[in-house]
Amino acid sequence: MARAVRPGGRVILSDDDYDGLRLWPEPPGFSSVWNAYQRTYDRHGNDPIVGRRLVKFLHQAGLLPRRNTLIFFGGCAAIQISRTWSGT
């Protein structure tokens, strides 16, 4: 991507960081299932926490990050969910 982008152009990266998931109250047995799910990524040669390394990868490619934004997706039992997200 660094070689393909025009001068002044942008490379935009977005990926997951599964270690950031938190539930409260946490359902019984959830953390062991979630940890096993993350290990399946490792075993297939993927990185379940690659999202936190994206800025480092930009630097290594010779690009200069302009902004690093964590987009939090979540909610709680009391939150109103839009029709689009709830499937209704």
What is the mean predicted confidence (pLDDT) over 8-32?
Answer: 84
Q: What is the pLDDT of residue 55?
A: 83
Q: What is the pLDDT of residue 79?
A: 59
Which residues lie below 8 Å from residue 48, measured CB to CB, with a gap of 6+? Answer: 16, 17, 18, 19, 38, 41, 42
Band (75; pLDDT cuts 50, 70, 90):
low
Q: What is the pLDDT of residue 41?
A: 85
Q: What is the pLDDT of residue 58?
A: 86
Tokens 């997951």 belong to residue: 16
Q: What is the pLDDT of residue 20?
A: 77
Q: Is the pLDDT of residue 63 over 80?
A: yes
What SS3 class is residue 40? Answer: helix
